[in-house]
Amino acid sequence: MEKRSSQISMARARYKIVVISERCKECGICITVCPVKILEKSSLRNSRGFRYPVASDENRCIGCRLCEYSCPDLAIYIL
Amino acid sequence: MAVAVEHPLDKYVRTEKLPTLWCPGCTIGIVMTSLLRAIDQRIREGLLRRDQITFVGGIGCSARIAMYVRFDSVRTAHGRTIPLATAIKILRPEHKVIVVGGDGDICAIGGNHLLHALRRNMDLMIIIVNNMIYGMTGGQVSPTTPLKLYTTTTPYGNPEKPLNIIRLACSLGANFVARGSATHPHILQQIFYKALGKRGLALIEVLSSCPEIFGRHIGITDPVKSFMTLRDKIKVKSNPSLDESEYDWERGFVIGVYLDKDDPGYIDNLSLLYKSLRGF
Amino acid sequence: MRIDYISGNRAIAEAAIASGLKFFAGYPITPSSDIFEYLAEELPRRGGYVIQFEDKLASIYAVIGASWTCSKAMTATSGPGFSLMVEGISIAVMTETPLVIAYIMRAGPATGVPTKTGQYDVFQAEYGFHGGLPIPVFTPSNPQEAYDLTIKAFNTSEILRTPVVLLSDASIANMFGKVLIREAGEIEIIDRRSIEILRKKGCEWSLDDVYEMKCVGDGYDIYVETLTHDEKNIYRPTTDVQRRLMWRLYRKIINNREVLFEYSFHNYGNKRCRNMIITYGSTFSSVSEAVRELNKNGEDFCVFKLKTLYPINEKIFYEKTRDVDKIFVVENNVGLYVKEIRSVVRDKDVISISVIDLEYPDPDEIVERVREWL
């Protein structure tokens, strides 16, 4: 059973970046493909030891969804 | 602030089996999500029914897509997905039957079945996730491995010229032949969307990055570097010609829809011939 | 109900149609091709599909896929074909897929003599695939038995959710005989969907180890798993799960041996059987001739003809062989099934009479060989 409570949402931006941290495997693809370079690895780890992404400046998200589309693990999406 | 909203594709996924067993950075997951988005689009437009989709998977990392999707999904022996899917399609013609497999599963051991499915223009959607190696079993050579590459069964280099699946499919007369790449998910989703609406055989070869196994053989095991290496080798073209389908790791790959026609598929032929027998 | 004069192969095809066959996939191989050809004409007229695939491998996987849509499916092959199909049959056993395989033996090994007979493949039919779990094998010896046993094969496969082999051979395939053909309404046809009803109502089958089957297109988002799985169909590579799975699949068949074991016993008017011949399949015709000759000298021979090679009911063996002195097992191979019989009958002399013959073995030869031991 995966813990939904460990989702993180960056509110107060035009787009919300939701990360399901338990699914992340720290591949780093979302961080690389983001065109405005606002994702970075968190200092925290999920229960399997991977450092999931967090947004450094959520207001600059342009909603392109490249992170959502390039994530192989259904771990990040944009609302 | 935590928000308990589920991922938009969760309704099509057996979430109790997540996280997937794929390595970090393996792009098979991207193929799966692009496919699910295309299916979702079709369902929302009323062109496809949620309970009329069947996935058939064989053995290998790519075939595990059939394990994670929440539709009627079946697993079978290595390389034998195509005849099994054929029988399911004949008996459930209203279903969209999607075959997923890797380059080894469908082109090597399943090569004979692939050839005949193409020839028959069988009403299936075949997705070949091509990571150019046998991933699950540890890195043996596959029909699409680049020439001269080190693999565990060709330690002095691969002496075999790799297979150009696109050329094979086009010459045998499938209705829809396309090549996509997991590094270009938007284009992949468009290709899948088109393929879902076709009758006859739709074959899509998807290039995929395998940082753990293939990456080890080419010396690039970092997931992001492997992804970017593949991405840099992709050229996007609309309506590429058959000559541009040339399969060469050094020169890069051209993705796009190579063939799109609408000949009658096998089910159409069969129905026509059986029509007089059962009066339908 | 009608009486017709047909060949063994044609009887198998007629019985398949009467059982509700919906899908046949095959590849031409002598001597089973005429089952295929007859069905190719008749089955589409009754709403079924007959497809020729590119090889035997494709055929077996196609019929497995067809069975997963809850349609009755069958294929027909011979020795070399079955050798190619064994991986598929292993998958059918693991996923508990109802399936009938008509195995028409030829003289082997390898290409052998495709148009002549033999009984070389009894072990391949029973155990031929990897995994070590035998499947039911029925052996008719004439067209009427071919008809009746095909119906039984379909019923067995549906209710026990297992592949079943109908083991015939080139002689029976081309043997003509009178067959009483019953239509679908006059015989008992079981469908896998009625397992729950039968379980509640009670029936002669032991159904404790059989689970209900759901299929593609039923709306359940089914998942078929070929890896070792537990009762919830989840892959769990633990000894505990593997053990439970293996024993359940084994018990499923063996606990039904009373219903499945078919045989016929001929005592030829002897009050007591001092000697017994055990045989099966096409060899029976030669054996019944030989026994008539042997009984002229007062040897008191009886014949125990097996119509099921697996599972066998040991109780019946003990009953029939209790007062017998010598047991002879006559078969058209180097002496294969005699090993199974020796493991069941342990207190008597079980002698192997191997008569390899491309056609019906010569009764005189059987008489001579048996007399050497008397």
Domain annotation covers residue B21: no
Burial degree of A20 (CB within 10 A; 0-12, 13-18, 19+): buried
Cβ contacts (< 8 Å) between B3 and chain A: which residues? Answer: 7, 9, 11, 16, 18, 79
Range of the domain at A16: 4-78
Mark yes or no for CB contact C44/B76 under 8 Å.
Answer: no
The whole-angstrom distance between B87's CA and the closest CA on chain C is 5
Cβ contacts (< 8 Å) between B232 and chain A: which residues? Answer: none
Range of the domain at C330: 263-371
Residue B134: partners with Cβ closer than 8 Å, 6 or more residues away: B60, B102, B104, B140, B141, B142, B213
Residue C200: partners with Cβ closer than 8 Å, 6 or more residues away: none
Mark yes or no for CB contact A25/B2 under 8 Å.
Answer: no
Query: Residue A9 has what pLDDT?
Result: 58
Domain annotation covers residue B10: no
Mark yes or no for CB contact B29/A71 under 8 Å.
Answer: yes
Residue B223 pLDDT grade (very low, low, confident, very high; cuts 50, 70, 90): very high
Chains C and A touch (3+ CB pairs under 8 A): no
The token duo for B161 is 């010229």
Regarding beta strands B53-57 and A76-78, do their DSSP bridges make them parallel or antiparallel, or are they unpaired?
unpaired
Domain annotation covers residue C11: yes
10-residue mean pLDDT series, chain C (374 residues)? 94 95 94 94 92 94 96 95 95 95 93 92 92 94 96 96 96 94 85 88 90 90 92 91 95 95 92 92 94 89 95 93 93 94 91 93 94 90
Chains that touch C (3 or more CB pairs under 8 A): B
**Low-confidence winner among B99-103, B234-238, C30-34, C270-274 (lowest mean pLDDT):** C270-274
Mark yes or no for CB contact B24/A27 under 8 Å.
Answer: yes
What is the DSSP secondary-structure string of C31-44?
Answer: TTHHHHHHHHHHTG
**β-sheet bridge partners, residue C100:** C74, C164
The residue written with tokens 């008749």 in the block is C42
**Ramachandran area for residue A63 (φ above 0: left; ψ -120 to 50: alpha; else beta):** left
Range of the domain at B134: 28-278
Interface test with B, best of C46, C69, C90 (most B CBs within 10 A): C69
Please name the member of C25, C62, C217 whose beta carbon is closest to the beta carbon of B72: C217
Q: Cα separation of B19 and A77, whole Å?
A: 16
In the predicted structure, residue A5 carries a pLDDT above the cut 50:
no
Percent of chain A with pLDDT over 70: 84
Q: Is B14 on the interface with C (CB under 8 A)?
A: yes
Please name the member of B15, B30, B32 whose beta carbon is closest to the beta carbon of A70: B30
The whole-angstrom distance between C175's CA and the closest CA on chain B is 31
- Summarised one tens digit per residue, pLDDT across range C273-322 is 999 999 999 999 999 999 999 999 888 999 999 999 999 999 999 999 98
Q: Is C221 helix (H, G, I), strand (E, B) or coil?
A: coil
Domain annotation covers residue C200: no
Taking CB atoms and an 8 Å cut-off, how many pairs form between chains B and C? Answer: 113
CB C331 within 8 A of CB C338: yes
Cβ contacts (< 8 Å) between B83 and chain C: which residues? Answer: 25, 53, 57-59, 61-62, 65
Please name the member of B3, B20, B189 whose beta carbon is closest to the beta carbon of A73: B20
Q: Specify whether C298 is located in the same domain as C180.
A: no
Q: Specify whether C170 is located in the same domain as C268.
A: no
Query: Residue B140 has what pLDDT?
Result: 94
For chain A positions 9-68, those within 8 Å of chain B (CB to CB) are: 9, 11, 16, 18, 20, 22-23, 25-29, 31-32, 48, 50
Amino acid at C71: S
Helical residues (DSSP H) of C235-298, grouped into ranges = 239-254, 257-260, 283-296
Overall domain count for chain B: 1
CB C281 within 8 A of CB C262: no
CATH number of domain containing B114: 3.40.50.970
CA distances from C94 to B86, C135, C192, C227 (A): 21, 12, 17, 8
Domain annotation covers residue B221: yes
- Summarised one tens digit per residue, pLDDT across range B41-97 is 999 999 999 999 999 999 999 999 999 999 999 999 999 999 999 999 999 999 999
Amino acid at C212: E
Nearest chain A Cα to B10, which residue? A74
Overall domain count for chain C: 2
Q: Specify whether C137 is located in the same domain as C22.
A: yes
The token duo for B170 is 């086009």
Q: Specify whether C13 is located in the same domain as C125.
A: yes
CB C140 within 8 A of CB C172: yes
Domain annotation covers residue C360: yes
- Summarised one tens digit per residue, pLDDT across range B156-197 is 999 999 999 999 999 998 999 999 999 999 999 999 999 999
Cβ contacts (< 8 Å) between B87 and chain C: which residues? Answer: 23, 25, 51, 61-66, 69, 73
**Closest alpha carbon to C230 in C242, C212, C217, C214:** C242
**β-sheet bridge partners, residue C169:** C105
Residue C343: partners with Cβ closer than 8 Å, 6 or more residues away: none
Q: Specify whether C181 is located in the same domain as C286.
A: no
The token duo for C98 is 């109802």
Handedness of CA C179, C184, C190, C192 (dihedral sign): positive
Q: Is B41 on the interface with A (CB under 8 A)?
A: no
Domain annotation covers residue B204: yes
Q: What is the 3-state secondary structure (H, E, C) of C267-279?
A: CCCCCCCCEEEEE
Which of C131, C156, C186 is the last residue before a domain boundary?
C186
CATH number of domain containing A20: 3.30.70.20
Q: Is B259 helix (H, G, I), strand (E, B) or coil?
A: strand
Burial degree of C182 (CB within 10 A; 0-12, 13-18, 19+): middle
Residue C271: partners with Cβ closer than 8 Å, 6 or more residues away: none
Domain annotation covers residue B188: yes
In the predicted structure, residue A61 carries a pLDDT above the cut 80:
yes
Which of C168, C186, C204 is the last residue before a domain boundary?
C186
Q: Is B131 on the interface with A (CB under 8 A)?
A: no
Please name the member of C58, C73, C222 whose beta carbon is closest to the beta carbon of B72: C222
Query: Residue A2 has what pLDDT?
Result: 47
Q: Is B208 on the interface with A (CB under 8 A)?
A: no
Q: Is C22 on the interface with B (CB under 8 A)?
A: yes
Mark yes or no for CB contact C64/B112 under 8 Å.
Answer: no
Which of C160, C186, C212 is the last residue before a domain boundary?
C186
Mark yes or no for CB contact C62/B76 under 8 Å.
Answer: no
Domain annotation covers residue C94: yes
Nearest chain B Cα to A25, which residue? B24
Mark yes or no for CB contact C68/B88 under 8 Å.
Answer: yes
Q: Cα separation of C105 and C198, whole Å?
A: 35
Nearest chain B Cα to A31, which residue? B224
Q: Specify whether C163 is located in the same domain as C21.
A: yes
Handedness of CA B167, B170, B172, B175 (dihedral sign): positive
Cβ contacts (< 8 Å) between C91 and chain B: which residues? Answer: 76-77
The whole-angstrom distance between A50's CA and the closest CA on chain B is 10
The whole-angstrom distance between B230's CA and the closest CA on chain C is 33
Domain annotation covers residue C257: no
ipTM comes to 0.89
